[in-house]
């Protein structure tokens, strides 16, 4: 059955880069750097942009800072590719406020995370998401990341929401249970937009009919992440598989500490940002930073430092 959301559903596919929030040395948001990072993504073929999701350190931002990051992003994108910011929170009223702000500024969709820390039960999750979805008229992407939230949205809950809320059009599944994600498509409909948030499942998700990925690795290697999706869409399965395995070592090292700490360390080594995270987050250990540096050299992202 066709809906008024079909047009954006056709565009909201491929690599949606979850762009980090760059900070200055003093901890202030660096909006100029944020714009540069978004331009870097667009120049390298990224299909859509998200901000203030997990990679954007939303819990370290004030509510108004989240809105400012979103506003700067949509101004920079200027309609060139879709924009789907993360608007969810552990606080229901904040989620409502930020999601409505996303709608007001013209975002193409909003990504709403399963509330973290407070672990609502399935009925409470349904009520939270339905209330948010009913309050706006833009597409909603459910963000299910049990490793961060300590609560998994069950397939039956997601399917119920999809049935009752026409603007819930997809989900970012950061769920290592591949049986679960298969059942999401089975129960929510094959046209449901299923995005992988687990880097090693980005390619397998395409094979079962997924719409793409929202991968933190795209911050560092946007071109190859986007190319994997392009190759799949063009029917070049071998190329897509090759890129999947080519990216694996980079994916691994970028998740040896809590995201986005390794990503920010890598972008700092690449000279793209000041590698600053707001407390309580911090940079990876010296040993891991050295491993990240060696990996970036192997991927041709930086040059090897000559030994003295």
Token couple for 71: 């506003």
Q: Is the peptide bond before 260 cis (omega within 30 degrees of 0)?
A: yes
Is 213 known to sit in a ligand binding site? no
Mapped to the 3 state alphabet, what secondary structure does the chain carry?
Answer: CCCCCHHHHHHCCEEEEECCCCECCCCCECHHHHHHHHHHHHHCCCCEEECCCHHHCHHHCCHHHHHHHHHHHHHHHCCCCCECCECCCCCHHHHHHHHHHHHHHCCCCEEEECCCCCCCCHHHHHHHHHHHHHCCCCCEEEEECHHHHCCCCCHHHHHHHHHHCCCEEEEEECCCCHHHHHHHHHHHCCCCEEEECCHHHHHHHHHCCCCEECCHHHHCCHHHHHHHHHHHHCCCHHHHHHHHHHCHHHHHHCCCCCCCHHHHHHHHHCCCCCCCCCCCCCCCCHHHHHHHHHHHHHCCCCCCCCCC
pLDDT at position 177 is 93
pLDDT digits (tens, 9 = 90+) for 253-277: 999 999 999 999 999 999 999 999 9
pLDDT at position 174 is 96
Strands 48-50 and 212-213: unpaired
Q: Stretch 270-291: mean pLDDT, rounded?
A: 98
Above 80 in pLDDT, residue 284? yes
Cα separation of 81 and 226, whole Å? 13
pLDDT digits (tens, 9 = 90+) for 105-136: 999 999 999 999 999 999 999 999 999 999 99
pLDDT digits (tens, 9 = 90+) for 44-58: 999 999 999 999 999
Is 55 known to sit in a ligand binding site? yes
- Percent of the chain scoring above 90 in pLDDT: 96
* Per annotation, catalytic residue among 97, 143, 203, 224: 143
pLDDT digits (tens, 9 = 90+) for 234-251: 999 999 999 999 999 999
pLDDT at position 306 is 57
Cα separation of 74 and 108, whole Å? 10
pLDDT digits (tens, 9 = 90+) for 167-210: 999 999 999 999 999 999 999 999 999 999 999 999 999 999 99
Cα separation of 144 and 279, whole Å? 24
- Percent of the chain scoring above 70 in pLDDT: 98
pLDDT at position 307 is 52
Active site residue 143: yes
* Per annotation, catalytic residue among 33, 172, 224, 264: 172
pLDDT at position 305 is 76
pTM of the model: 0.96
Active site residue 5: no
- Over its C-alpha atoms, the chain yields an Rg (Å, rounded) of 18
pLDDT at position 3 is 80
User: What average pLDDT is seen over the chain?
Assistant: 96
Above 80 in pLDDT, residue 36? yes
Domain map (residue ranges) of the chain: 5-236
Above 60 in pLDDT, residue 308? no
pLDDT at position 304 is 83
pLDDT at position 301 is 97
Confidence of residue 2 (pLDDT cuts 50, 70, 90): low
**Number of neighbours of residue 306 by Cβ within 10 angstroms:** 5
Domain 5-236 indexed as CATH 3.90.1150.10: no
Above 60 in pLDDT, residue 221? yes
């Amino acid at each position: 059955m066709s809906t008024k959301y079909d047009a954006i559903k056709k565009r909201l596919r491929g690599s949606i880069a979850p762009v980090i929030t760059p900070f200055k040395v003093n901890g202030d948001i660096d909006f100029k750097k944020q714009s540069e990072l978004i331009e870097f993504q667009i120049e390298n073929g990224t299909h859509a942009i998200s901000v203030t999701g997990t990679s954007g350190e939303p819990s370290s931002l004030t509510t108004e800072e989240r809105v400012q990051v979103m506003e700067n992003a949509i101004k920079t994108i200027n309609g060139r590719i879709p924009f789907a910011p993360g608007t969810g929170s552990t606080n229901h009223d904040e989620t409502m406020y930020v999601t409505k702000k996303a709608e007001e500024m013209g975002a193409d969709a909003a990504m709403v995370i399963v509330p973290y820390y407070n672990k609502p039960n399935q009925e409470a999750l349904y009520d939270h998401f339905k209330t948010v979805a009913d309050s706006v008229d833009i597409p909603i992407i459910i963000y299910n990341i049990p490793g961060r939230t300590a609560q998994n949205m069950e397939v039956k809950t997601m399917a119920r929401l999809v049935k009752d809320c026409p603007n819930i059009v997809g989900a970012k599944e950061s769920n290592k249970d591949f049986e679960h994600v298969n059942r999401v498509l089975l129960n929510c409909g094959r046209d449901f937009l299923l995005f992988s948030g687990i880097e090693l499942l980005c390619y397998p998700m395409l094979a079962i009919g997924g719409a793409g990925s929202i991968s933190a690795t795209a911050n560092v290697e946007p071109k190859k992440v986007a190319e994997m999706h392009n190759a799949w869409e063009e029917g070049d399965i071998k190329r897509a598989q090759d890129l999947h395995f080519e990216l694996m070592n980079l994916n691994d090292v970028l998740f040896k500490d809590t995201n986005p700490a390794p990503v920010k360390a890598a972008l700092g080594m690449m000279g793209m940002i000041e590698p600053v995270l707001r407390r309580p987050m911090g940079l990876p250990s010296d040993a891991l930073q050295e491993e990240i540096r060696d990996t970036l050299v192997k991927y041709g992202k930086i040059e090897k430092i000559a030994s003295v």
